[in-house]
Copies of this chain bind each other. A is one copy, B any other.
Amino acid sequence: MDLKKQYITRQRRALLAFLSQRPEQLFSAEELMLALGQQGENVGLATVYRNLDKMVSQDMLARIIPSDGSGAKYEYLETRALPDSHYHMVCEECGRILHINCSRLAQLADHIESDHDFVLDSRRTILYGRCRQCAKKPQ
C-alpha cells in the first residue's frame, strides 16, 4: 500500500507544510481547509479528508477522536521513528489536550506486551480523565 505511486500535489504539499509547522497542535478537517484558504491555498474539503486519511495510514499524522463526538482531529507526528514517544491526555470536562512523555508509560507498555499479549500503540491511545483545574471542581 505504500508501494503505490503517489503524486506530490500542490494541495498535499500545502497540507503537510501547514501541519508540520505546527507539531502537537490538533486541527479538524474543516479547520485545515479554512486555514489553507486564508493562506491563498484553496483546497476542497474532500481533498483534505482524502489526504489526511493517507497521511494517517502512512503514520505521518495521528488521528485523535474526542469522546464528545465532535469529529476527528489531526496532529503532525515529528517522531516517526520513536514508537513510544508520547501519549495524549484529554480532559473530559474542558477538552484540553495534554501530552505526557513518561518512562512509567513505556514500562506499562512493556508489561502489557509481555504479560497480556497486546502491543500498545501510543499514537492512537488517548488517556481520558480530568486535568488539574477540572479535577478540583466539584462534580
Contact = CB atoms under 8 A, between A and B. Distances in A.
List the number of copies, as a whole number: 2
Given A65-B69, A67-B65, A92-B124, A119 B108 contact: no
Contacts of A98: 118
Contacts of A92: 121, 124
A112 interface: yes
A26 to B, nearest CB: 15
A124 B65 contact: no
Given A92-B124, A120-B129, 19 more contacts: A65-B69, A69-B72, A89-B118, A91-B118, A92-B121, A102-B112, A102-B116, A104-B108, A108-B108, A112-B127, A112-B129, A118-B129, A118-B130, A118-B132, A119-B130, A121-B128, A121-B129, A125-B126, A125-B129
A127 B119 contact: no
Interface in A90-117: 91-92, 98, 100, 102, 104-105, 108, 111-112, 115-117
A120 B98 CA distance: 13
